[in-house]
């Protein structure tokens, strides 16, 4: 009669120890997963900041380049106007034809400057859209990284113990009730 009771006690202790170990293991796993999520979130945020900085630097360089082009065109336009006036004066040409030539140079310069301004506006819009898209992608990656971590449940562990207890009790009753262990 002693053997079934000892077997039931060993089974009960084993079930409790296994449940506690499983619960502790789940807690440790959840803790490690949260730490990994924090590290991955931090790395993603750094990546996102570098990507934004690179785009803004590129945008700034293009704006500087466009500004230099506008300045160059203005200088060239002033040189062309000055050259045209000098040539006209040396040739003895005055009046409407010289004014028309100078107006044509100034018009071309204005058209080019205006086109560059529109092009820069389009670049700014494209950069804004790119930054917005980057932000959306960043948020989606953070959502993917930070999926909820499954937490261990004392209720689930308790239910497992209860099931084990019912099974042990059932087995004990069968063993005690049978003639083999008498």
* pLDDT tens-digit map of 140-171: 999 999 998 888 777 787 777 777 777 777 77
**Residue 168: inside a domain:** yes
Domain that holds residue 51: 2-177
- Residue 167 half-sphere exposure toward CB, CA atoms < 13 A: 10
**Residue 61: inside a domain:** yes
Number of domains in the chain: 1
**Residue 48: inside a domain:** yes
Residue 148 burial class via C-beta count within 10 angstroms: exposed 0-12, middle 13-18, buried 19 and up: exposed
**Residue 33: inside a domain:** yes
Do 55 and 127 contact (CB within 8 A), yes or no? yes
**Residue 182: inside a domain:** no
- Going by C-alpha positions, the residue among 55, 52, 37, 48 that lies closest to residue 138 is 48
**Residue 37: inside a domain:** yes
Asked whether the whole model's pTM tops 0.75, one would answer no
Q: What is the pLDDT of residues 43-91, one digit of tens each?
A: 999 999 999 999 999 999 999 999 999 899 889 888 888 888 888 888 8
**Residue 30: inside a domain:** yes
């Amino acid at each position: 009669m002693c053997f079934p009771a000892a077997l039931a006690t060993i089974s009960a202790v084993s079930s409790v120890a296994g449940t506690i170990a499983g619960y502790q293991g789940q807690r440790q796993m959840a803790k490690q997963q949260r730490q990994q999520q924090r590290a991955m979130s931090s790395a993603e945020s750094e990546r996102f900041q570098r990507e934004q900085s690179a785009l803004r630097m590129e945008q700034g360089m293009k704006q500087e380049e466009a500004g230099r082009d506008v300045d160059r065109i203005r200088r060239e336009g002033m040189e062309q106007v000055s050259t045209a006036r000098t040539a006209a004066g040396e040739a003895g040409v005055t009046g409407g034809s010289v004014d028309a030539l100078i107006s044509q140079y100034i018009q071309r310069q204005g058209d080019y400057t205006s086109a560059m301004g529109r092009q820069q506006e389009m670049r700014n819009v494209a950069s804004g859209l790119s930054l917005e898209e980057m932000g959306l992608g960043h948020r989606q990656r953070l959502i993917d990284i930070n999926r909820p971590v499954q937490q261990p449940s004392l209720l689930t562990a308790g239910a497992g113990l209860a099931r084990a207890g019912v099974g042990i009790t059932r087995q004990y009753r069968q063993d005690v009730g049978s003639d083999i262990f008498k």
